[in-house]
Amino acid sequence: MKKILLTLAAGAAVLAAMPATAAPSVGPGPRPRPPVSSPPFIDASRAIDARRMEIGRRIDMGARRRTLTRREVRDLRYRMNDIAMLERQYLRSNNFMSVQEARVLDRRLDFVEQMLRNSLRDGDRRGGPRRGW
């Protein structure tokens, strides 16, 4: 009788511990880690968000100083909104983006930065703040 009770107790302990070992591991922050067999994923959303915020700040500054026209501000903000929507789409599946997806966002941010630099440089060549707002 003792052997049966000990066997049942040991079996119950093993069964109780199994869900804990099957639980997915959690990395730093609230996002779960992707499975090992999945394609390479990175947590680049913070860096991309910081870059988007910096570019947005520069666009706002150009608009306030009137070194960008209304049309340039509208075009730049439109492109920034597209990038934000694409990032949300990438993160919707599992809160991580693949390396390829991060590269796409980086290239788009590079393009917007280049547009902003060119627009600001053109505004400086025309003699500072633009009129007609």
Mean of pLDDT values over 77-103: 89
pTM for the predicted model, two decimal places: 0.61
Name the residue ranges covered by the structural domains of the chain: 41-133
Distance between CA atoms of 52 and 115, rounded to whole angstroms? 14
Q: Tell me which amino acid residue 76 is.
A: L
Contact in structure between 68 and 118 (CB atoms under 8 Å): no
pLDDT at 92: 85
Q: What are the start-end ranges of the E strands in 2-125?
A: 41-42, 97-98
Q: What is the pLDDT of residue 47?
A: 84
Structural contact between residues 112 and 86, judged by C-beta atoms closer than 8 angstroms? no
Q: How confident is the model at residue 131 (pLDDT cuts 50, 70, 90)?
A: very low
* Predicted local distance difference test score (pLDDT) of residue 99: 86
